[in-house]
Chain A
Amino acid sequence: MGRDLELNAGIALVAIAPFIAALLAPLVHRFAAPATGWLLALVPAAIFLFLLQFLGPVSNGEVIATAIDWVPAYGLKLSFLVDGLSLTFALTISGIGALIVLYAPAYLKGHHHLGRFMGFMLAFMGAMLGLVLADSLLALFGFWELTSVTSFLLIGFDHSRQAARRAAIQALVITNIGGMALLVGAILVRQLSGSWEISALGNLTGEPLYGLVLACFLVAAFTKSAQVPFHFWLPNAMEAPTPVSAFLHSATMVQAGVYLLARLSPALGGTAAWSTILLVFGGATLIWGALGALKQTDLKQMLAQTTIASLGLLVMLIGLGSETATAAVIVYFVAHAFYKAALFMVVGAIDHEAGTRDITALGGLADRMPLTFIGAAMAALSMFGLPFTLGFFAKEEIYAGLSDGPWQDIFALAVLVAGNALLGAVGLLVAIKPFLGAEVTTPKAAHEAPIAMLAGPLVLGAAGIVAAVMTDWFGASVLEPGATAIMGEPVKSHLTLFIDLSSIAFWLSVLTWGLAVLVYQQAAMIRTLLRRAGALLWTADQVFDAVMFGLIRFAGAVTRALHHGRLELYLVTVFAMLALALFVPLLALGGIDALLPLSDLGDWSARLVWPDLQPYEWAVALLAVIGLGAVLVARNRLVAIVSLGIQGTAVALIFLLFGAPDLAFTQFMVEVLSVVILALVMTRLRLDEHDHRPFEDLARDGTLAIVCGAGVSLALMVVLSGTLDTTLSDFFTATSVPIAHGANIVNVILVDYRGFDTLGEISVVMGAGIAILALLRRRKTAPAKRARKAAS
């Protein structure tokens, strides 16, 4: 039991530690600049080593779960789960993360915002770790959005460049569409299954809302993993510094969509809709990405496009859902993470040391950068898929399950062979073209990169080979638990170093190699052809721009229509709405009928009763009428304002006479102040002394005033004609003195029972005051500025 608790605290720490490191990163950079990478890399390295100890238990079929109470009142828990799938992802993220954290300070050496950058990077890693370890769908959503936000900061890190800002916003917009879909999907799933925990989900394929749930999660996964038609943000995300790309493309962010699909495939997978959609979109993405890669000459862009292709391939495999396909998902994911991170770091090193990333301007670097070349070669061989590399097994697993299936499988197989061949060709291009052949003069005199930048490619390149050679260990510790978690039933590893010359899969591999070499040799010609064809296409990137600009124009049009800036019309709208709000319920609910039944109209004279009032009460009423009359006949604005004050004061007197001293008091003061302020406003606005308005305006405003006044009066009369519910006032009368020690119920409610509301209201009063002052000062300074401008 003791060990169990310890482990649980450890898992929670895994999710928190990167964020703590992220906060410390700027300090580390300030006080120990040369060692930034080495010090910060300790955190992911420690997480990696800590997670390694789970490899044994998990490969024995254990699932380690832990939870922290989050919102106990709603039964919401922050639950984490370590099984084969999440462990594979978490190990990849922390392992590659350690190498990247080591690499980044060397790559960005001397950058004045390096500390901040490392902070973003570690927070990004923490978000990704949390995402793959989370068991609660809501926690997963939180970490999912956090990866979007942190990647936004990373992609837009070089924020002085417009392209970087645009790419960051684009990535954020696209991935957030998916984030919202994910939230909706999570809530739907919670309604269907009654639980937030993914591990507690049953099979949802028979549920009535299955289609909607599937659509939500597919949108989430497709936007995150850059599937067609959401693929275009990923190449643009290349605006980020290279270490970000290496991380983002290999183990994090874009793999989150793949992870989500794999994680949910026991709950949602297996249906015709699932496999058809994943196969079609995955296949389209695979081919589009691979062709896109061949079109580029920029090494980084080539790798970015191949990531799209690889993500499409993974989505296809999840869609196939067979045992070998599922095993292939795990092997391919690991193989891809190794070689893609390594190649990105290699490209970064080339860029850093030679000064260019253009494949046509590079050549013969192998002599000057031998270690980099070794790393690149090892990674590229895995990407190409030669035996004794992890990439070979990935390919074998993909082909093995498909070659004897129905026609869909054969079709998928054809797409996969073509895709793999194209990807292999790109691997060769990236690893061979810059290093071998005749030496080309580069902008900088190339030399070997520092050790911190070499560690990543060498370690990861070697890892791809070591893992392949230790076939039995890899199969038992990584492949089996991971594939079992995706399938929901035990999967056995078929990995073996022995090459079976009689298997179709092997000969398909040979075919793939042949095609890859062919494409490699004809790369220049294919590039020209693709560019010619591509010029005709309207790309999704342009569609995105069109949609964004359309949105801005639409918002502008709506604003101009609703926010026309004419105060007079705003007031007319407000009061017209008030009149509607008063009369519609009165008519619909029969209020007027209850007050004045139509049947009684005959003897209406009986209803006209002379009110029984005291003489002084008559006098006050007369005062109000005189004030009102004066407002109507006033020729001068100031007279009208003062007359309105007289009328208001008379109303206050009526309140006083009929037992509402509080109300009367306030009304008095409001009348005084409104006369003063209105008079001041009038002089401020430099209005005419007289009110010149066309008769239509006067008629409109007068009608509105009468309608609103009549509506309020009628509503009050209806309210008073019914029985008054005194529950609340009884409660306040009874409790005011004993609980709140006050006899004035109005004040007690304001400052005690509903004090929190009052606090909000006085804040609003102050806020409104500040806003009014700001407007007044603006009016005052604007003419002064104009005068200064004219003078100068």
Chain B
Amino acid sequence: MNTVIFRTIAPLIVAIMLVFSVYVCLRGHNEPGGGFIGGLIAASALAIWSVAAGVEAARKALRVDPLALAGAGVFAAALSGLASIFTNSPFMTSIWLYLDLGEETVPFSTPMVFDIGVYFVVFGTISSIALALQSGEES
């Protein structure tokens, strides 16, 4: 599978997929997408990268253990739910902030943080399984 063509084109595909995954994740609240599917896209990207460049290179590119990312995701999701403490409302009540940037208004919200958490959980879990399976194959 590790052909020259694949190795040459893989970085390009991976980069596009990663950008696309972030885009899909962030637009999820209004258009098809969301953290789950975004995370799956990113995990696929990493899987392609690891097939093209090897597991070690993929791990190095990630810098962090993928399972730690998953843990951070669960943590971020739970934390976004806790934010409702400050408005004295029940757990996971959403909070919305609108940032005015000239002509555009950018919304920030706890569901967005939650969705990003989901993204990291899916990405982290799936890629750590994929990487672990592959590294077993190499050894």
Check if A34 is an interface residue, CB within 8 A of chain B.
no
> How large, as a class, is the contact surface on chain A?
35 or more
Say whether B67 contacts A683, CB under 8 Å. Answer: no
Say whether A741 contacts B29, CB under 8 Å. Answer: yes
Say whether B125 contacts A768, CB under 8 Å. Answer: yes
Bitwise interface map of A from 158 to 186 toward B, beta carbon under 8 Å scored 1, else 0 = 00000000000000000000000000000
Give the chain A neighbours of B102 by CB distance below 8 A.
none
Distance of A326 Cα from B44 Cα, bound (Å): 79
A742 with B30, Cβ < 8 A, contacts A758-B118, A770-B67 known: yes
Say whether B67 contacts A661, CB under 8 Å. Answer: no
CB distance from A277 to the nearest CB of B (A): 51
Q: Given B37, B77, B121, which contacts A665 in the complex, CB threshold below 8 Å?
A: B37
Distance of A769 Cα from B125 Cα, bound (Å): 5
Q: Given B31, B71, B136, which contacts A766 in the complex, CB threshold below 8 Å?
A: B71
Say whether A765 contacts B44, CB under 8 Å. Answer: no
Interface with A: B4-12, B56-64, B127-135, which one?
B127-135
Give the chain B neighbours of A677 by CB distance below 8 A.
129-130, 133
Say whether B137 contacts A759, CB under 8 Å. Answer: no
Give the chain A neighbours of B52 by CB distance below 8 A.
none
Give the chain B neighbours of A750 by CB distance below 8 A.
34, 36, 118
CB distance from B37 to the nearest CB of A (A): 5
Say whether A684 contacts B30, CB under 8 Å. Answer: no
A755 with B36, Cβ < 8 A, contacts A680-B134, A680-B137, A766-B70 known: no
Check if A540 is an interface residue, CB within 8 A of chain B.
no
| Interfacial residues of chain A within 672-694, with CB under 8 A of chain B in the complex | 672-673, 676-677, 680-681, 683-684
A759 with B81, Cβ < 8 A, contacts A676-B130, A751-B114 known: yes
Say whether A741 contacts B96, CB under 8 Å. Answer: yes
| Interfacial residues of chain B within 80-124, with CB under 8 A of chain A in the complex | 81, 91-92, 94, 96, 107, 109, 111, 114-115, 117-118, 121-122, 124
Give the chain A neighbours of B44 by CB distance below 8 A.
669, 672-673, 676
Bitwise interface map of A from 736 to 754 toward B, beta carbon under 8 Å scored 1, else 0 = 0000111110111011100
Bitwise interface map of B from 27 to 42 toward A, beta carbon under 8 Å scored 1, else 0 = 0111111111100110
Bitwise interface map of A from 640 to 683 toward B, beta carbon under 8 Å scored 1, else 0 = 00000000000000000000011001100110110011001101
Minimal Cβ-Cβ distance residue in B for A748? B29
Check if A763 is an interface residue, CB within 8 A of chain B.
yes
Give the chain B neighbours of A763 by CB distance below 8 A.
74
Say whether B37 contacts A758, CB under 8 Å. Answer: no
Give the chain A neighbours of B124 by CB distance below 8 A.
766, 769
Distance of A742 Cα from B30 Cα, bound (Å): 5
Say whether B111 contacts A743, CB under 8 Å. Answer: no
Minimal Cβ-Cβ distance residue in B for A677? B130
Check if A779 is an interface residue, CB within 8 A of chain B.
yes
CB distance from B94 to the nearest CB of A (A): 6
Distance of A665 Cα from B44 Cα, bound (Å): 13
Give the chain B neighbours of A751 by CB distance below 8 A.
28-29, 34-35, 111, 114-115, 118
Distance of A672 Cα from B41 Cα, bound (Å): 9
Minimal Cβ-Cβ distance residue in A for B39? A669
Q: Given A748, A755, A756, A776, which contacts B133 in the complex, CB threshold below 8 Å?
A: A776
Say whether B121 contacts A747, CB under 8 Å. Answer: no
Q: Given B34, B133, B134, which contacts A747 in the complex, CB threshold below 8 Å?
A: B34
Check if A773 is an interface residue, CB within 8 A of chain B.
yes
Check if A762 is an interface residue, CB within 8 A of chain B.
yes
Minimal Cβ-Cβ distance residue in B for A776? B132
Say whether B136 contacts A779, CB under 8 Å. Answer: yes
Check if A492 is an interface residue, CB within 8 A of chain B.
no
Minimal Cβ-Cβ distance residue in B for A754? B92
Distance of A752 Cα from B35 Cα, bound (Å): 13
CB distance from A41 to the nearest CB of B (A): 44
Distance of A92 Cα from B29 Cα, bound (Å): 67
Q: List 8 A-B contacts (CB under 8 A).
A: A673-B47, A677-B130, A680-B137, A740-B94, A742-B29, A744-B34, A747-B28, A752-B111
